[in-house]
A and B are shown apart, each in its own frame.
Chain A
């Protein structure tokens, strides 16, 4: 059974006003337990809207979202439980920090779930570890952290709820290159350890190529593609038409191939490319 199933999802903002805007129209897909799904699309294609529908922050104008086989809006009173199961990290989450200490802020979610002190403490510490927040930072004010540390603290606040599905909306936007790489590895590591489902929104094709099992491509509020990473990035022309592109390294391999150098173009990361080229030179 799929963890998340979206059926005929349509969302219209400001229905009946002069600002009416159809952000999503008739989107269908299923995501399996344990998958790492990348979500890409041009600015305004409806990515943030889509992920907010998945954890019940927005109610679909039409269509249904199933979480573990259950319609999430079946009992509107229990929507909070849906939000604990599908944890969501917003774009620029550092602006939601509010507590006196980082520790208390990370504990906000678990506390709302009604967990015991002990359990909360355990969750806070393991979440902080996953995102690489040093222990001494836990007792600082969140407003005294650097931008990158704030970002980590905010992500830890959601990880601490131990959701079945973790949704990350552009978690690496605005971080320095090293910070990006480290955070990405930590998310990957978290995924491997917990074996839960992750939906990862990003504008960086390189990041998406590196970590996704499958990719969902959005275009003007509609699902364009939903396929394995290899298959999606094999369609370079189609992606370029909707304002996206393939990873730089894949492009290089394709150019080499065009020059008559017989390499595999199914390459997504620098390491793969390196091995492929070494292989080619060796033979």
Chain B
């Protein structure tokens, strides 16, 4: 079913990570991603991986869902992994025709696979534990300084909110229409690529029609409630930094310091 896609889906809960301020989560996520790519040897990579897994455990969300979000990009991971085996230098381990596999290549492959996997999972932490409205609010706050350059931060945030808000609606609608066409004998599961694409037409057309209807209704509804942009709007939920944020920050700083030290005192195995 379409609804089984988990990538970027909020799961309500009461864990420590859920309680963090969305702004700190975004900033910390960016920092984690930077440090995932800064780790240059197995020890620092292990440290950032273990730290990320600890964060994942703290969300109290079934690990199955993280694996599911990995499944979506499994092909990309495997593909880049294999590709990386053949690039690299160092001791030659195996040679056959123009194919040479080196120690550096193997290291590269392992690093790439672990880095992407951890990256996807830690990013899922943000989307799993933060409601879309909190997320866009936080992005709006973080981008606020850009309004100096006449960038319409509020409009951008509003568009993101609406887009995110309508993803589940859209999926549900897709599901409904697919079911309705299946009831008339549509077959989405067999045939070659072209047949499958053709089989989707009866789903796509009603979907387009209904999303335009939806957009229209929403615009009318917003106008009826006198929506006119972001100036001087106040919020129902005011964001606040709390003790949990401080704790998260300390934990992360320790991890980052560890990564830097391990990088400095142990030899790098990739680049």
Contacts and interface: CB of A to CB of B under 8 A. Distances in A.
B206 interface: yes
Nearest to A94: B206
B136 to A, nearest CB: 22
A256 interface: no
Q: Which of A90, A95, A157 neighbours the largest number of chain B CB atoms within 10 Å of its CB?
A: A95
A120 interface: no
A146 interface: no
Contact of A161 (B185, B186, B206): B185
A243 interface: no
Interface string A41-77: 0000000000010010100000000000000000000
Interface stretch (A2-10, A106-114, A172-180, A263-271): A106-114
Interface string B174-190: 00110111111111000
18 contacts: A18-B13, A55-B183, A57-B182, A57-B183, A87-B183, A90-B180, A90-B183, A95-B206, A95-B210, A96-B202, A96-B206, A98-B201, A98-B202, A98-B206, A108-B184, A109-B185, A157-B184, A158-B183
The 6 closest A-B pairs by CB, nearest first: A112-B185, A98-B205, A96-B180, A109-B184, A88-B183, A98-B202
Interface of A: 16-18, 52, 55, 57, 80, 83-84, 87-90, 93, 95-98, 108-109, 112-113, 143, 157-158, 161
Contacts of B202: 96, 98, 108
Contacts of B30: none
B12 interface: yes
A98 B200 CA distance: 11
Given A17-B11, A80-B185, 14 more contacts: A16-B64, A18-B12, A55-B183, A57-B179, A83-B183, A84-B185, A88-B183, A90-B176, A90-B183, A95-B209, A95-B210, A97-B206, A112-B185, A157-B184
B201 A83 contact: no
A118 B209 CA distance: 31
A18 B12 CA distance: 8
B215 to A, nearest CB: 15
Contacts of B181: 96, 108
Contacts of B186: 112
Contacts of B242: none
Contacts, number: 62
Contacts of A98: 201-202, 205-206
A158 B182 CA distance: 11
Contacts of A112: 184-187
Given A16-B64, A98-B206, A108-B202, A161 B11 contact: no
Nearest to A77: B190
B185 A90 contact: no
Contacts of B183: 55, 57, 83, 87-90, 158
B62 interface: yes
A95 to B, nearest CB: 6
B217 to A, nearest CB: 14
A129 B40 CA distance: 74
B132 to A, nearest CB: 16
A87 B180 CA distance: 10
Contacts of B64: 16
B11 A18 contact: yes
A93 B202 CA distance: 13
A101 to B, nearest CB: 13
A95 B185 contact: no
A218 B13 CA distance: 32
Given A108-B202, A143-B209, A83 B185 contact: yes
Interface string B158-195: 00000000000000000011011111111100000000
A126 to B, nearest CB: 17
A96 to B, nearest CB: 4
Interface string B195-217: 00000011001100110000000
Nearest to A86: B183
Nearest to B187: A80
Contacts of A55: 183
Contacts of B13: 18
Nearest to B204: A98
Contacts of B182: 57, 83
A57 B178 CA distance: 10
Given A18-B12, A97-B206, A98-B205, A158 B184 contact: yes
A20 to B, nearest CB: 11
